[in-house]
A and B are shown apart, each in its own frame.
Chain A
Amino acid sequence: MSEKIKLLIVDDEVQFLNALAQRLEIRGFHVTKATNGAEALQAARSDRFDLALLDLKMPGLDGKEVLQLLKKEHKHLEVIILTGHGSLDSAVECTKLGAFGYLPKPYELENLIKVLKEAYEERLKKKFQLDQGKMEEIMKIATGDSPLGIMRRLRELDDDIK
């Protein structure tokens, strides 16, 4: 994919947000910033993001709530939790709520990028599986045949062309 990964970062610490966004942009991410949960949800609705980086402690909507809402509205959006509150319980809970990963602050940028890439892979895989499923659906509807039948027909088509 030559497209840039579209990333949504949500954190109420503005300085941190700006710095991180700058660094990620240098490394080829397309970054959108949000400073609270409401902003984040609105941004997610108006644009398609591949990944989201989410802080837990924010004013207004709590990070966990934002996580749940994002996952509900955008099934394929992978969310990575990034927080100064390190706790095992919290990590487990967020994973159960659908987070892809959980990173404590401060972190090594390389680690963060690795996790982002892994998340993106996951997203691609899911998307591919989705696309594949869609394809199968279309074929079924078109031919009313099983996948094996379709394959035979395609080979026959190929042979015909040859």
Chain B
Amino acid sequence: MDSSPRAHVYPDPILHNERYYQQLQRRNLLRLVLTYLLPMVVLTVYFAIQYRQILDVSARAHLTAIAENQANTLDLFLRERVVNLSNLIDNPKLELPPSPAVMQSLLATLQQNSETFVDVGFFDSDGIQTQYAGPYPQLEKRDYGSQPWWLALRRKQDSFIITDIYLGFREKPHFTIAVSRTLNGRYVVLRATIDPERFLEYITRLEHPSDVYTSIVNASGDYQVVTPQLGNVLSRSPILPPRTPKSDAGVLKTERGKIYYAYTWLRTCDWALIVQSTSEVGTGFGGPSFIRLFGFSAVVILAIFVIIVMRARKIVSEVREADKTRAELSDNLLHASKLAAVGEMASGIAHEINNPLAVISEEVGLIQDALNPAFGLGKSIEDLKPSLDHIQEAVFRCRDITRKLLSFVRRSEMNLQTYDIHQVIDDVLQGFYMHEIAVSNVEIVRQFAPVAAPVVVDKNQLEQVFLNLINNAIDAIRGRGRITIATSVDHGRVRVDVSDTGIGMTQEQLDRIFVPFFTTKEVGKGTGLGLSISYGIIKSLGGDISVTSTYGVGSTFTIHLPLAASPAGTQEPPAGAAGAGRG
């Protein structure tokens, strides 16, 4: 059966260095940023895109509504004008052809109906304007028979026509409304012209928001009516509405950005009304609302970022504090376990000291006897010298033991140096178990590898581990037995096996052997801390510790430690640490 130590709470005396905490902070920061800020950013971008889409849609809808509204009004207007003319020509009282005076009154009536009427003319069936009232009298008697509008009117099924803008004989842009009738068997036409500027005035007085331009184009896309800011009458409009759908919105791209527009084809004549926004919209996210959105998001993101940084820093400093506390605690625990180990060895140590004391006592007694006249021994000063030497030796023995004890127990900073592990083991055996080896029925066998096995360790701590293992082995043996300490070097690792022929462990004991405060000894003996501390020490030195055991036969504890790169130094261990024990 064997067990490798599973997850345990064990003291880990290594303090992380500053770099570790910086890395921890950075990682923490990154994690938090990804968790909190990234969604924020993604959401912001998403909302910005959505917002832009909404703006787009709403702009289009807005303009389309205006366009249709205005188109309705225009249609109505044009229809009214047609009706105006129709009323005149349909008046049964109208004498044909009308006299100039009648023409004047017709014009007056028309102009009462609408200021946009410029003039009125009466045409006979050949297309000659026989009567005219208006500011261009030269047009009277002119032959319009081959004018496009006349020909178109003749061809049309409806009895009216609204022409596009054209210059005509008067050399000025205008458009005409003409109605045709067949009266008394004769084909006659009454035509009036509309002043486009007045017409434009009329249009501009239509209700529309100040941020749009309205223009009218014909089927070819030539401006019929247009504000001077956009262009000239009869010039080509950059916006060319398609025939279908009848009304729609679109975007015109210019150098500075894009312009939203909407168009509607009129019903009364073949014109399209175009409504466009007066200012460009930047492509992308430049508008003020976007700036607000991004600005707001930026503020929020910045705030979150600041909070995250503060939090990350706080967490790391808390971790640092916790590590420090833990290191302190483990330090204390280590020290306490040292004391406990010493306590466990107390009886052995007492014996180690009592024997020299007995020697001193006897030698002193000898000297006293020699000096006592009652005994009459007749010894000289020279005869007493050996006793004094023996006393001195015994004193040194005691001193070595107490010194070794003290150095072991003393709190020391972790002092990593390179030692040959064989040296460490021998120091432990000689320092603490010298007498034990000689007198007890426990045989200690050293099976050291024939090569040097340098390791980088704190000697004090490693000694503590070996002390612990050997103590445990002796306790397990309970009488007669053998402890074998075998070393080997393999694959860059030093391996030490401490085997005993003791009582062994059951699987349940094996499973818990490294758990703090777990002990197989009876109540009052041992703290149960030795192996858990040893585990922690070996782990912190970069090694491993494991155990195999057969109940009733014995156990073997195996330690692995990384092989040091350089050989063991010739430095002296810290003052006060054991030299080889004497005695």
Interface residues of A (CB under 8 A from B): 12-13, 15-16, 19-20, 22-23, 26, 57-59, 62, 83-87, 104-107, 109
* CB pair B350 A85 closer than 8 Å: yes
Interface residues of B (CB under 8 A from A): 347, 350-355, 357-363, 365-366, 369, 375, 377, 387, 390, 393-394, 435, 438-441, 479-480
* CB pair B390 A19 closer than 8 Å: yes
Least Cβ–Cβ distance between A110 and chain B, in angstroms: 10
* CB pair B366 A106 closer than 8 Å: no
Most buried by A among B352, B358, B363, B441: B358
Least Cβ–Cβ distance between B387 and chain A, in angstroms: 7
Q: Provide the bound-state CA to CA distance between A106 and B362, in Å.
A: 9
Q: Provide the bound-state CA to CA distance between A19 and B370, in Å.
A: 12
* CB pair B390 A86 closer than 8 Å: no
* CB pair B366 A105 closer than 8 Å: no
Set A15, A58, A104, A107: member contacting B439, Cβ < 8 A? A58
* CB pair B440 A57 closer than 8 Å: yes
Residue ID in chain A nearest B480 by CB atoms: A62
Q: Give chain A residues whose Cβ lies under 8 Å from the Cβ of B394.
A: 15
Q: Provide the bound-state CA to CA distance between A107 and B359, in Å.
A: 11
Known: A19-B365, A105-B358, A106-B354. 11 other contacts (CB 8 A): A15-B390, A16-B362, A23-B362, A57-B351, A58-B439, A62-B480, A84-B353, A84-B358, A87-B347, A105-B361, A106-B360
* CB pair A26 B369 closer than 8 Å: yes
* CB pair B358 A12 closer than 8 Å: no
Residue ID in chain B nearest A36 by CB atoms: B439
Least Cβ–Cβ distance between A65 and chain B, in angstroms: 9
Known contacts being A13-B359, A19-B365, A23-B366, is A86 close to B354, with CB within 8 Å?
Answer: yes
Q: Give chain B residues whose Cβ lies under 8 Å from the Cβ of A19.
A: 359, 362-363, 365-366, 387, 390
Q: Give chain B residues whose Cβ lies under 8 Å from the Cβ of A23.
A: 362, 365-366, 369
Q: Give chain A residues whose Cβ lies under 8 Å from the Cβ of B438.
A: 12, 59
Least Cβ–Cβ distance between B374 and chain A, in angstroms: 10
Most buried by A among B353, B363, B387, B435: B363
Known contacts being A57-B439, A105-B355, is A84 close to B350, with CB within 8 Å?
Answer: yes
Q: Give chain A residues whose Cβ lies under 8 Å from the Cβ of B387.
A: 19
User: Do most interface residues of chain A lie in helix, strand or loop, or is the interface mixed?
Assistant: loop
* CB pair A20 B362 closer than 8 Å: yes
Q: List 19 A-B contacts (CB under 8 A).
A: A12-B438, A15-B363, A19-B387, A20-B362, A26-B369, A57-B435, A58-B439, A84-B350, A84-B353, A84-B354, A85-B351, A86-B347, A86-B350, A86-B354, A105-B355, A106-B357, A106-B358, A107-B358, A107-B361
Q: Give chain A residues whose Cβ lies under 8 Å from the Cβ of B363.
A: 15, 19
Q: Give chain A residues whose Cβ lies under 8 Å from the Cβ of B366.
A: 19, 22-23
Q: Provide the bound-state CA to CA distance between A60 and B440, in Å.
A: 8
Cβ-closest 6 pairs across A and B: A84-B354, A19-B362, A105-B358, A84-B351, A57-B439, A106-B361
Residue ID in chain B nearest A58 by CB atoms: B439
Q: Give chain A residues whose Cβ lies under 8 Å from the Cβ of B435.
A: 57
Least Cβ–Cβ distance between B436 and chain A, in angstroms: 9
Q: Give chain B residues whose Cβ lies under 8 Å from the Cβ of A107.
A: 358, 361
* CB pair A16 B441 closer than 8 Å: no
Q: Provide the bound-state CA to CA distance between A22 and B370, in Å.
A: 11
Least Cβ–Cβ distance between B368 and chain A, in angstroms: 9
Q: Give chain B residues whose Cβ lies under 8 Å from the Cβ of A105.
A: 354-355, 357-358, 361
Q: Give chain A residues whose Cβ lies under 8 Å from the Cβ of B351.
A: 57, 83-85
Known contacts being A59-B438, A87-B347, is A16 close to B365, with CB within 8 Å?
Answer: no
Least Cβ–Cβ distance between A114 and chain B, in angstroms: 15
Residue ID in chain B nearest A17 by CB atoms: B362
Least Cβ–Cβ distance between B392 and chain A, in angstroms: 12
Residue ID in chain B nearest A57 by CB atoms: B439
Known contacts being A23-B362, A57-B439, is A13 close to B355, with CB within 8 Å?
Answer: yes
Q: Provide the bound-state CA to CA distance between A13 and B387, in Å.
A: 15
Q: Provide the bound-state CA to CA distance between A91 and B340, in Å.
A: 25
Q: Give chain B residues whose Cβ lies under 8 Å from the Cβ of A62.
A: 441, 479-480
* CB pair A84 B355 closer than 8 Å: yes
* CB pair A26 B362 closer than 8 Å: no
Least Cβ–Cβ distance between B117 and chain A, in angstroms: 137
* CB pair A16 B439 closer than 8 Å: no
Q: Give chain A residues whose Cβ lies under 8 Å from the Cβ of B440.
A: 57
Residue ID in chain A nearest B360 by CB atoms: A106
Q: Provide the bound-state CA to CA distance between A16 and B357, in Å.
A: 10
Least Cβ–Cβ distance between A70 and chain B, in angstroms: 18
Q: Give chain A residues whose Cβ lies under 8 Å from the Cβ of B377.
A: 26
Q: Provide the bound-state CA to CA distance between A13 and B363, in Å.
A: 13
